Amino acid sequence: MNILVTGAAGFIGSHLCEKLLENDEHHVIGVDGFLGPTPAPLKANNIAHLQSHPRFTFLELDLLTADLPSLLQNVEAVYHLAGMPGVRTSWGTEFAAYAAHNISATQRLLEACKDRPLKRFIYTSTSSVYGERSGPLSETLEPTPLSPYGITKLTGEHLCRVYFREFAVPIVILRYFTVYGPRQRPDMSFHRFIRQLLAGQPLIVFGDGTQSRDFTYISDCVDGTIAAIERDDVIGETINIGGKERASVNEVIRLLEKLTGKHANTQYTPAARGEPKQTWADLTKAERLLGYKPVVTLEDGLQKEIEYIRSLYEGEHS
């Protein structure tokens, strides 16, 4: 199968490309515009090992200006991961970039796909669309995002649904819950905490640290994402992709202390705007439709991310 992956040089996108290429039947076209908070050299490093792969083609493109009909020639499935990430930076003047790259680019890609015989168009969304809720979050809940970022991702979902209804674009929407692991973006909490801890710097926590998240290890996330292209009866569906364990930020810090053998000097700052107090994925639908069952424990996943951060910043915290 010829598969287009947008956002291919990002954290999740690079892991997804790797996993797709394990199947000898797949040819992957990776596209990335090198947007967002991750430095371009870090993104380039994410896919450096794939550049020589005989079934992988990489193109640096902006989806807002690219010749999408040409890009989509012979493509049978699309994974749309590209976009502007991050809740905290989506306020104020930055919103224009979020609207352009999360809404306009998605509409442009859907428009280019609407007359093509695609087998699947998989759109990656976020638990941020749910807003402030207690208990397990089911896909049947009405989304009430708390941030401009969440609103742009929900708008992308709505665009997918109208192109599904009007043009039969075979969409699947996946809502990711706080994905972590090697190659995680530098602005994300685990990456920041581990780097600060190893360097003997204060850990900066937004809020009081009691906020909890459903943490999803990258390999579990990718397994669920790939199942969405292989499984029948998922077209038109919205499905949560969550983790094996939930934990509070303070619990994560204690676990990081244990795994690194270092004491955390934690500094608490005002809570970030637009962040819910807790997330918790109801995975009933994912298990039924995708056979999805996360297996990586938080401790094992954090250990792997620590090893990655150590190698990434080797010499910085010796």
Annotated catalytic residue 176: no
Q: What residues are paired with 5 via a beta bridge?
A: 30, 79
Q: Which residues contact 86 (CB under 8 A, 6 or more apart)?
A: 36, 37, 149, 187
Q: Rounded distance, CA 71 to CA 31, Å?
A: 10
Write the DSSP string, 160-183.
Answer: HHHHHHHH---EEEEEE--EESTT
Could you tell me the CA-to-CA distances from 47 to 56, 117, 219 in Å, in that order? 10, 29, 16
Say what angle helices 148-167 and 105-113 make with each other, to 10 degrees: 10
Which of 98, 123, 149, 180 is the catalytic position?
149
Closest CA to 247 of 296, 206, 280: 280
Active site amino acids = 149
